[in-house]
Amino acid sequence: MPADEQPIPSVWTRPRRRERPALSREQIVAEAVQLLDTEGIEDLSMRRLGGRLDAGATSLYRHVANKDELIELVVDEVYGEIEVPSADDPAGWRASVTVCADSLRAMILRHPWIASLLGEVGLSYLGPNVMRLNDRMLALFEAADFPLDEADKAISTVSAYVIGTAISEAAWLTMVSRSGETEQGWSERLRPAVEEAAQDYPRLRETFTGSAGQDLHRRREENFHYGLERILDGFHVHHGREEQPREP
């Protein structure tokens, strides 16, 4: 078979073994997610994972050909945690999209290691959870009379915003966690350095001064929803224009 006709290597593009080994794919993926949650991406290896499962690496290779395939599986696994409401109420599409966006953000903050994997996920978008997520989100927009191609673009826009924002949040929270302090405590200890760095920048200085003492968790929530609402406002306005009858 010519090289350009060879199937693209992915856990989703090759047949799954029919045998029933003692160690299941589901057990491997669940343990891999726990390892990543507790120890981070740096410590993920087939050997280390096998040790946590009291199994040799050979047992793992019955289910995944390599670490890249394992990553495809864990990414799809955590995407299965994302909530997408049903499309029963077309008028409530904004609320439904907001629920989904909140759930995607919460998943990333719950599993901050995914931030470093989103650019290395191979064909994880072929996984059943990712496929189900995208199909149900399409249904939300389609039920609100968005054309399917526009619904697809809307999903990409929302996802890009949520992922970009949540990755930044996850990086901040990871740094805070490593400090051993609370988010509020770490921010207050950092404040003198921030204010000194902003001395020559009056607008930034005013912004930092005005935010002193704020609840940082609440501020992150408000900032996230501000951006999301402006995106949804744009969809609403554009979609409304598309629905207007054209003058002859």
pLDDT tens-place string over residues 46-65: 889 999 998 877 778 888 88
Task: Indicate if 116 and 180 belong to the same structural domain.
Answer: yes
What pLDDT was estimated at residue 245? 45
What pLDDT was estimated at residue 87? 85
The mean pLDDT of 197-209, rounded to a whole number, is 88
Q: Which of the listed residues 79, 111, 132 is the one where a domain comes to its end?
A: 79
Task: Indicate if 122 and 29 belong to the same structural domain.
Answer: no
Q: Which of the listed residues 16, 51, 79 is the one where a domain comes to its end?
A: 79
Q: Which domain holds residue 206?
A: 90-243
Phi–psi pair at 53, nearest 5 degrees: -95, 5
Q: Which helix (H) or strand (E) holds 34?
A: helix 25-39
Q: Please give the tally of structural domains in the chain.
A: 2
Distance of CA 215 to the CA centre of its chain: 24
In a domain, 50, yes or no: yes
In a domain, 85, yes or no: no
Please tell me the distance from the alpha carbon of residue 127 to that of residue 12, in angstroms, as a whole number: 7
Q: State percent of the chain over pLDDT 70.
A: 87
Please tell me the distance from the alpha carbon of residue 48 to that of residue 248, in angstroms, as a whole number: 69
pTM: 0.83
Q: What is the CATH number of the domain that holds 66?
A: 1.10.10.60
Please tell me the distance from the alpha carbon of residue 67 to that of residue 54, in angstroms, as a whole number: 18
Least confident of 62-71, 137-146, 237-246: 237-246
Distance of CA 203 to the CA centre of its chain: 32
In a domain, 180, yes or no: yes
Task: Indicate if 172 and 207 belong to the same structural domain.
Answer: yes
Please report, for the chain, how many H helices and E strands are present, in that order: 10, 0
Task: Indicate if 98 and 181 belong to the same structural domain.
Answer: yes
Q: What is the CATH number of the domain that holds 159?
A: 1.10.357.10
What pLDDT was estimated at residue 241? 55
What pLDDT was estimated at residue 23? 83
pLDDT tens-place string over residues 142-179: 999 999 999 999 999 999 999 999 999 998 888 888 88
State both tokens at 174: 């990871």
State both tokens at 169: 């949040």
In this model, does residue 132 exceed pLDDT 50? yes
pLDDT tens-place string over residues 70-129: 988 999 999 999 999 988 888 889 999 999 999 999 999 999 998 888 756 555 678 899
Q: Which of the listed residues 79, 111, 127 is the one where a domain comes to its end?
A: 79
In a domain, 66, yes or no: yes
Task: Indicate if 152 and 228 belong to the same structural domain.
Answer: yes
Task: Indicate if 108 and 219 belong to the same structural domain.
Answer: yes
What pLDDT was estimated at residue 120? 61
Task: Indicate if 144 and 28 belong to the same structural domain.
Answer: no
What pLDDT was estimated at residue 244? 47
Instruction: Mention every residue, 6+ apart, whose C-beta is less than 8 A from residue 138.
Output: 148, 151, 152, 155
Q: In this predicted model, which residue has the larger pLDDT, 28 or 211?
A: 28
Task: Indicate if 107 and 217 belong to the same structural domain.
Answer: yes
Task: Indicate if 127 and 225 belong to the same structural domain.
Answer: yes
The mean pLDDT of 184-193, rounded to a whole number, is 88
Please tell me the distance from the alpha carbon of residue 81 to that of residue 127, in angstroms, as a whole number: 13
Residue pointed to by tokens 């599409």: 93
Least confident of 13-22, 96-105, 144-153, 227-236: 13-22
State both tokens at 201: 């920048």
C-alpha dist (Å) from residue 235 to 146, 153, 154: 10, 10, 8
Phi–psi pair at 107, nearest 5 degrees: -65, -45
Query: Would you list the DSSP string of 108-124?
Result: HHHSGGGGGTTTS-TTG
How many other CB atoms are found less than 10 A from the CB of residue 183? Answer: 17
In a domain, 151, yes or no: yes
Task: Indicate if 125 and 149 belong to the same structural domain.
Answer: yes
Task: Indicate if 37 and 125 belong to the same structural domain.
Answer: no
In this model, does residue 243 exceed pLDDT 60? no
* Backbone CA torsion sign across 66, 68, 73, 74: positive
Task: Indicate if 101 and 71 belong to the same structural domain.
Answer: no
In a domain, 84, yes or no: no
In a domain, 248, yes or no: no
In a domain, 207, yes or no: yes
The mean pLDDT of 36-50, rounded to a whole number, is 90
